[in-house]
A = this chain, B = another copy of it.
Amino acid sequence: MLSKKTKYGLKALTFLALQKDREPVQIAEIAKQENISQKFLESILLSLRKTGFLGSKKGKGGGYYLIKDPEEIQMTSVIRVLEGPIALVPCVSLNFYEKCDDCPDERVCSVHKLMLQVRDSALEVYRSNTLADLIS
């Protein structure tokens, strides 16, 4: 299941991408428009800034704004930052690989075999979608 963090983060990114100019938008306004807990959104936007998706400005007239063009923001990187691994099990994860304790041999593991395919199919979707695709 997709976490609220990811869901809210995607909605916020979409909201910011839809702004005509790249003027800063306050957390409070995004939270209100998208029906998100303001404090929770605050931490999400913060992590999106730290990972290079957003810029911020303090003081009056401040807020958050997109730092790149929506066309350049791939869903693979957004998902990995907000949600973590794209794979459903660590043993098929490209960026968060981990061996299973219980599994003696991945090469003959049925779960591994199935989840490898699921990962690849999800990856293809995320790779072929940018933020720009989501707002069109």
Residues of A within 8 A of B (CB): 1-2, 7, 10-11, 14, 34-36, 75, 85, 88-89, 101-103, 109-111, 113-115, 117-118, 121-122, 124-126, 129, 134-135
* Contact of A110 with B88 in the complex, beta carbons under 8 Å: no
Copies in the complex: 2
Query: For residue A89, which residues in chain B have a CB less than 8 angstroms away from its CB?
Result: 1-2, 7
Chain B residue with Cβ nearest A109: B11
Q: 16 other contacts beyond A11-B109, A118-B125, with CB at 8 A cut-off?
A: A1-B85, A2-B88, A7-B89, A10-B110, A10-B111, A14-B110, A35-B102, A35-B103, A110-B135, A113-B134, A114-B129, A114-B134, A117-B125, A118-B122, A121-B121, A121-B122
Counting chain B CB atoms within 10 Å of each CB, which of A36, A89, A111 scores highest?
A111
Contact among B102, B110, B113, B124 for A36, CB-based, below 8 A = B102
Counting chain B CB atoms within 10 Å of each CB, which of A7, A85, A110, A111 scores highest?
A110
